[in-house]
Amino acid sequence: MRQRFGESLLFTMIIAVLIMVPVRMTLGEGFLERPKANMEVSGLVPFASIEKIAVKKAQERWGQVALGPPLVCVDDDGDIVAYMFAFSIGPSSFPAYSEILSSVKEGRRMAKDGFKAMNPVEQQKVLDDLKDRVQDQATPSEGAPILQSGVAEKMDENLANQVAKKIGRQRMIGSGQYGTIVVSARYDRFPVPLYMHYLPPYFHTGDLAAMKAASALLTDSATLERIYFLDRARGQYFEFESNHQKVLVHSYNLEVVSPEAVLTRKGSKVIPEPEVMSQIGEAWAKIEKELE
Residue (of 241, 205, 209, 181) closest to 57 by Cα position = 181
Judge if 130 and 273 occupy the same domain.
Answer: no
Model's pTM, two decimal places?
0.81
Judge if 15 and 153 occupy the same domain.
Answer: no
- Residue 9 in any domain: the answer is yes
Mind giving me the DSSP string for 33-64? EPP--B---SSBPPHHHHHHHHHHHHHHHHSS
Judge if 213 and 163 occupy the same domain.
Answer: no
Please compute, for residue 247, the number of CA atoms within 13 A of its CA located in the half-sphere on the CB side: 22
Taking a C-beta distance cutoff of 8 angstroms, is the pair 65, 59 a contact? yes
The residues, ordered by sequence, that sit 6+ positions from 236 with a Cβ below 8 Å of its Cβ are: 73, 201, 227, 228, 229, 230, 250, 251, 252
* φ, ψ (nearest 5 deg) of residue 79: -80, 140
- Residue 141 in any domain: the answer is no
Judge if 14 and 113 occupy the same domain.
Answer: no
Judge if 58 and 201 occupy the same domain.
Answer: yes
Question: Which residue segment(s) compose the domain that 165 sits in?
Answer: 100-135+147-171
Tens of pLDDT along the chain (292 residues) come to 444 444 444 444 444 433 333 333 333 334 578 899 999 999 999 999 999 999 999 999 999 999 999 999 999 999 999 999 999 999 999 999 999 999 999 999 999 999 999 999 999 999 888 877 766 654 555 544 443 444 345 557 889 999 999 999 999 999 999 999 999 999 999 999 999 999 999 999 999 999 999 999 999 999 999 999 998 777 999 999 999 999 999 999 999 999 999 997 766 677 788 999 999 999 999 999 998 8
| Structural element, H or E, at residue 151 | helix 149-171
